[in-house]
Chains A and B, each alone.
Chain A
């Protein structure tokens, strides 16, 4: 009786260890590839202490409270990423959020970041839960009915992420018959299907990247900005290829009707694009992927009014 129990216990322990080991296998590796001392440095931004946005209810309230509430993503490496151990955020979108905040008169320690998922963005902006949102937020007419945009500050497009040694896939056309991974339900699914690719879908891009690293799929597809982040995280293993085959204009989402704030954010974007901060921020984040910075986008006349 006792021997049987021991055997059973030993078996379960063995099996559990196996399961535990599996779990570890799937853990996303933390940012070990941040680059050495020669890596490009992030810019620092001069806080404009004289900022005064009369007529902007959002700014007036934030100034009175002494803090600026910014919505962002937390799961996009080198774009909008939160290190859960330190609670620090980094990435290109985060830098954009910070440079705008500096011009509005808020120092980095006055910024309060909140993670907000794609499906809840409009409601949290309209519902006053945040002052503005920076996180791969495509400007489109449907969203403009509920909120206003500043920008665009970056023009992304659907592109392809492949293993460094892959020479077979060079553009969207060459994905015919190839296994391509993207997120369940996303617009990227329909786009890539038009090129007759075999589509694999998971809940998040990090799972697709995992499948790409084990070569279960040939490519991962979505906006190039997101892909560059993963390429930067897996330096030397992955690369972004092909001309973007769609156009996503990333803007900063803010409360509808606050034209003063919208203009101030647009001015801030213009200023930091002109003085080189934008390029520096790109080089120190998405630029680590090996892809050169795209052209700085023109401000949209409909948001720059």
Chain B
């Protein structure tokens, strides 16, 4: 059962663990930026931007993530775009997760009464000010819980990277399986590692929720 502590497997585990964290953290950052931008597009008064935001979400929220990995790994080189496997994995994960972030934010924005935006506008605020100073701060409280789910899903989705030349926890499982360790024991440790990451992300969001809680 103590597989990580045998035969120098510990460094393998650490490398896989850090790989998963690095991949997830970078993707989370880009997904968040992308999601904010797309959400702004979707509620903006410009039809072209709204259309772009809608198209993006429709396509990438409905495409299986594995297919996205395939596209960035095998189709881009054919179009003469050459990027490293890690960059490709970050791109696939951010593009996919970004569309979910966008929809969560949009739902949050919809919870803010329309009167708030109208009041801001009547004070002479532009679209950016209305969204940034009045609407989003109020929307943030409502989106924390669903946003937490999106970012707990992300590290687990990152396992697909293991099949596309990124070394992370899932690759550790493959390597140890090939070495002939008992499958159940390997899965136990790999699942435990994912659980640690998910718990940490969940704890961060719970803390944020407590800090932003208000009586209604």
Contact = CB atoms under 8 A, between A and B. Distances in A.
Query: Do chains A and B interact in one complex?
Result: yes
Interface of A: 4, 7-8, 11-12, 15-16, 19, 22-23, 25-26, 119, 142, 184-187, 189, 200-203, 207, 210-211, 214, 216
Given A15-B55, A203-B163, A216-B82, 19 more contacts: A4-B50, A4-B51, A7-B51, A8-B51, A16-B59, A19-B59, A22-B71, A23-B70, A25-B74, A119-B183, A185-B178, A186-B178, A187-B178, A200-B85, A201-B165, A201-B171, A203-B164, A207-B74, A214-B78
Interface of B: 47, 50-52, 54-55, 58-59, 63, 67, 70-71, 74-75, 77-78, 82, 85, 162-165, 171, 173-178, 180, 183
A137 to B, nearest CB: 14
Contacts of B50: 4
A165 B120 CA distance: 68
Q: Is the interface of B mostly helix, strand, loop or mixed?
A: helix
Contacts of A216: 77, 82
B58 A12 contact: yes
Nearest to A14: B55
Contact of B59 (A12, A202, A211): A12
Nearest to A22: B75
Contacts of B52: 11
A184 B78 contact: no
Shortest Cβ-Cβ A-B pairs, 4 listed? A185-B174, A203-B163, A185-B175, A11-B55
Contacts of B55: 8, 11-12, 15
A219 to B, nearest CB: 15
Contacts of B175: 184-185, 189
B15 to A, nearest CB: 13
Contacts, number: 69
A79 to B, nearest CB: 19
Contact of B74 (A15, A187, A210): A210
A184 B163 contact: yes
Contacts of A25: 74-75, 78
Contact of A19 (B63, B78, B82, B176): B63
Given A22-B71, A119-B183, A184-B174, A8 B54 contact: yes
B174 A202 contact: no
10 contacts: A11-B55, A19-B67, A26-B74, A184-B162, A185-B173, A185-B176, A201-B165, A202-B164, A207-B74, A216-B77
A157 B32 CA distance: 48
A19 B71 contact: yes
B14 to A, nearest CB: 17
Contacts of B47: 4, 7
A16 B175 CA distance: 36
A8 B176 CA distance: 48
A4 B47 CA distance: 7
Contacts of A187: 178
Nearest to A216: B77
A202 B163 contact: yes
Nearest to A16: B59
A185 B75 contact: no
Contacts of B180: 142
A187 B174 CA distance: 11
A85 to B, nearest CB: 22
A200 to B, nearest CB: 5
A201 B51 CA distance: 39
B97 to A, nearest CB: 18
B76 to A, nearest CB: 9
A119 B58 contact: no
B71 to A, nearest CB: 5
A185 B163 CA distance: 10
A51 to B, nearest CB: 36
A127 B175 CA distance: 26
A182 to B, nearest CB: 10
A184 B171 contact: yes
A246 to B, nearest CB: 14
A207 B77 CA distance: 13
